Amino acid sequence: MHMQFVQNVPFFSIMLCMICGIVSAMLPSRVAKWVTVALGGIVAALNLWLTFFLAGYGQSYVYLMGHFPAPWGNEIRAGILESVLAVCFSVILMLSMLGGMSKFEEQVHHGKQNLVCVMLDLVLAAMMAMLYTNDLFTGYVFIEIMTLAACALIMSRQNGRTLVSAIRYMIMSLLGSGLTLLGITMTYNVTGHLLMENIQETFAKLHATGQYQLPITVIVGLFFVGLGIKSALYPFHTWLPDAYGYSTPTASAVLSSIISKAYIFLLIKIFYRVIGIQIVMENQVLTLAFAFGIVGMMMGSIDAIFSHDLRRMVAFSSVAQIGYIYAGLGLGVHVGYAAAIFHMVMHAFAKSALFMSASALADASGNSKRFSDLRGAGFRHPAAGVCFTIASMSLVGVPVLGGFVAKMYLSDAAITAGGARMWIMLAALAVSTLLNVLYLMKTVVTLYRPAREGFSAPAVKRSWRTEIALWGFVAANVLVGLLADPLMQAIRSGLVMFD
């Protein structure tokens, strides 16, 4: 088949991010920030173009990097699921950078602002590579790039707490990377391949003959635990509240919405395209994913209820939402995987919106994140109030918004799975939704209550960049709900292309 120009988009996306990273290091910091914003917009536009092409093309394709064919060459594989996720995550990076720019200038030392822009460009490069790569080793290389970039983003804000949380993140993350590398090494030992299709063919033959059953189970377990630690699955989440709660608004939004999701998507890709979904579903590792997911849904919400600080509450809420995603995967049905990916997209938009608006609301309350001072903040900063309210309503599951649709899909997957998992999942969804209401809706009500007696909020200088980003997040969160059907169609057809 003659290759069309649009099919170069995955390669261009990764290379453009890498080139922007190099260029950002040399530019004046104020220009580097706008380069990062523009990068997010350009990558989103390119991948949107690719999405329309793939919707008409109806199948995935493989793009050869260099002159060497399989099994030695390095390959990129593009399907509609990857291109849709690439659009979503690059839009989030663009809005997060734009919205956090004024705080970024205030909280990051002037000499280090370029470095942070370089790290954000690298995060997007790593995200694109994890979405599109067709071989395990390239995936691993970009896991490490993303780990180092994430540490730099946490440390970019100069205070003692961020240093401690970055070190904690680094220790946990390197443990996760080590287990993932062990999984890749064992996979290579058993199969002799690094390209995903070749590994899957070999695993299918071994499974049919009953050979290497125990090593294959160990490999599935290593990938699950390694990437579970990196994506903050409960109980491996201890690094998360400090890392999200104390870093800059841009770093918090990117960490919670892009970095944790990249690892989850890579795990789903490994389950489908490396090990083979049939082998994974017959394995007991999914029972672990389901159990940890259900416990995470509850414990994350309970921790959030007892938080006295707005941003830590939003951070603990992430633990609960990642629990939803893993519980969906743990159901062991195709519909569960599709529902988990939909929840992942919805959560990425909602969580980045919450972190961005939480920062603006704290500013409108005398730079305080305590709930008593946040009373009336929704009136003092209307855009942030609306943004926080819409994102909270989405996570709680108010109809029309994405969170409601995600919970419907997860319920449908639970009914499809049947048995004990159905009842556990449905009960957990009901209880977790009630817990979400307790802390998220309570916060929304606080934002619109009259300010407490004797409290006078300082005059806040509003940034037009933050306002644009906040309204952008509001629109994105509403669109995820309104466009749920085509988005779910893209996810389902993308998973079919995986097989």
Looking at residue 50, what is its pLDDT?
84
What's residue 453's pLDDT?
Answer: 65
- Helix, strand, coil shares, percent, the chain, to 5: 80, 5, 20
* pLDDT on residue 1: 47
Beta bridge partners of 76: 63, 133
Q: Supply the pLDDT for residue 71.
A: 62
Which of 80, 52, 252 lies closest to 150 in space, CA to CA? 252
Look up tokens 């007991």; give the residue: 284
Query: What's residue 455's pLDDT?
Result: 64
Separation CA 402–CA 400 (nearest Å)? 7
Euclidean distance between CA atoms 41 and 219, whole angstroms: 38
Give, as one character, the DSSP assignment of residue 182: H
Residue 61, beta-bridge partner list:
78
DSSP 249-295: HHHHHHIIIIIHHHHHHHHHHIIIIIIIHHHHHTSTHHHHHHHHHHH
By CB atoms closer than 10 A (0-12, 13-18, 19+), residue 171 is exposed
Residue 30: Cβ within 10 Å count = 11
At residue 5, the pLDDT reads 79
User: Please, what sign has the CA dihedral across residues 40, 45, 48, 54?
Assistant: negative
The whole-angstrom separation of Cα 110 and Cα 32 is: 12
Beta bridge partner(s), residue 294: none
The pLDDT assigned to 385 comes to: 82
Do 445 and 71 touch, CB atoms closer than 8 A? no
* Res 456: pLDDT: 66
Beta bridge partners of 63: 76
Contacts for 218 with CB less than 8 Å, ≥ 6 apart: 186
What's this model's pTM, rounded to 2 decimal places? 0.88
Per-residue confidence of the chain (499 residues) as pLDDT tens digits? 456 777 778 888 888 888 888 888 887 877 878 888 888 888 888 888 888 888 777 777 777 776 666 666 677 787 788 888 888 888 888 888 887 777 776 666 666 777 888 888 888 888 888 888 888 888 888 888 888 888 888 877 776 677 777 788 888 888 888 898 998 888 888 887 777 777 877 878 887 787 777 788 888 888 888 888 888 788 777 777 766 766 777 777 788 888 888 888 888 888 888 887 778 777 778 888 888 888 888 888 888 888 777 777 888 888 888 888 888 888 878 888 888 888 988 888 888 888 888 877 777 676 766 666 677 776 777 888 888 888 888 888 788 888 888 888 888 888 887 778 788 888 888 888 888 888 888 887 877 777 766 666 666 677 777 778 888 888 888 888 888 888 888 888 888 877 6
| Domain limits, the chain | 284-499
d(CA 113, CA 104): 8
Residue 309 φ then ψ, to 5°:
-130, 130
Distance CA 324, CA 261 (A): 13
To which H or E segment does residue 74 belong?
strand 74-78
DSSP for 352-416 reads HHHHHHHHHHHHTTTS--BTTTTTTHHHHSHHHHHHHHHHHHHHHT-TTSHHHHHHHHHHHHHHH
Nearest to 387 by CA among 357, 428, 363: 357
